Structure 1
Amino acid sequence: MKKIRYFVLPLFMSLTLLAGCTPKQDAQVKVEGDKPNQETKQENDTKKPEENKEKPQEEKVDPAVLNRFDKYFYKGKDEMVYIGMAEYGYRAKYEKEVTDNPKEKTVVYKGSMSDGVGETKGPREFIASYIIDKDKVVEKIENKDYLKDRKTTLNSIIENFIVVKGEVKVGNKWEQSFKQKDKEFKAVTEIKAVEKKGDKTQFVTETTVANMEGYKDNTYIEKRTYREGLGLIDFENTPKIVNGVEPIDPMVGYGLNYIMDKDGNKDIIER
């Protein structure tokens, strides 16, 4: 009986040792197996929110859409000469076209005043930029004329004037807000005519601003004509009331008189 007891005891101890080791090995495998998942989770948590989001795709604009207004701009090398009432006038030349932004392009003109006042302190210059996108054309003026108080307009009272928006068709209207002397106004522009002049198309716009003191009937009116291949050919607006006296002419303005080459040859613009 003693022999049997000695044989059973080692066997029992061996089974106990095996039973005690197995759970530890399983636990070790489980921990090691979970470790990569924890590291991956930690890496994801440490990423910046903007890195986890997909970058939005940049909108591409069809060049044909941008070019639908393009025909109304002059891009020749000669000088455009504008003449108006009371010896008013200026000259402008096409400078460049900027296409850095895929959603828009800008047509730039450089001009200088040419009126009865003269240039007593040097050139009285300005830059007119027309920003064209898929929906509209905006005129932006940088006026360097030292005789002008306002540096963001040339003759209009509306800065960043929307030349055209939407389709070039009669009856099309759009609105824009602008400020003058810290007061906000609303300008409403409408295409009044789309017509042919020879083989060229031209359109006429009329802009109205209500509740404007200093103008007849407290209303400011501005009319513009743009012709294919030439751009702006006519401009007129409501003159201000001076010292309480209404002006004789209800509208004053100027127009593109001729285009002159470097030799002084003039191409007269027909009305």
Structure 2
Amino acid sequence: MNDREISGSSEQAVLNLDKVSISYSGVAAVKNVSFPIAKNKVTSIIGPSGCGKSTLLRSLNRMNDFIPEVSIDGQISFAGQNLYAEKVDAVSVRRRIGMVFQKPNPFPKSIYNNIAWGPRINGYAGSSDELVEQSLKQAALWDEVKDRLDSSALNLSGGQQQRLCIARALAMEPDILLMDEPCSALDPISSARIEDLIFELKSQYTIVIVTHNMQQAARISDYTAFMEMGDLIEFGITDQLFTRPKKQRTEDYVTGRFG
């Protein structure tokens, strides 16, 4: 499938979901979901707990492959290729589509090796020093840790650990960055720094974020997908979805009538 224009805009889709359904042991968690993801934009996926948004996000870089009972139907296309085609290497997919999880998960290594280790084992031949500095600067963490790169990453604050995990993902030079509720375990100040960082990073990366915080989605995203009980209720430009939704169910959710 080739990149296509997103309805109502001139943006090009870098990732396309086409009738995607995901089941756990035969029980549907995501049902027939289709929408495009625009290049160098932020797309938020919102919805009540248990609606399938994190399951859908993990399907975008085949993280669900680690769960034996999961099955997926439909097509997710990236760079013109179905990510679930038989000959596609899932490890290569995850190099190009990185992920940051809900809870910061730094390796029990130094700050430096948290960044350098992944590229090194994947054959990176450039300067590790330069890569570490560049990645930490991209994640707005360099100035805070440049004098203690050899200290344990576990000694960082929660917000710093999350930015370190973002830097670690960026060091793999992905095209797309997935974020699964990256601020849910953080204080408001740390959350604001992550939001500022997301806004800066979208000039270089395509970002897809799952968030339970509707105000956050409204602040940081260009496009929003609203899901409920595995169904995609509405997808569109964020401002329109929050202020002029097409579906009554969307309006009920974003105005706090349920969820």
Fold shared, TM-score > 0.5 on shorter chain: no
Specify which structure has the bigger relative contact order, considering alpha-carbon pairs within 8 angstroms and separated by 6 or more residues.
2
* Bigger proportion of residues as strand: 1
**What TM-score bracket applies, with the shorter chain setting the length?**
under 0.3
- Compute the TM-score of the two structures, normalised by the length of structure 1: 0.27
- Compute the TM-score of the two structures, normalised by the length of structure 2: 0.28
* Bigger proportion of residues as helix: 2
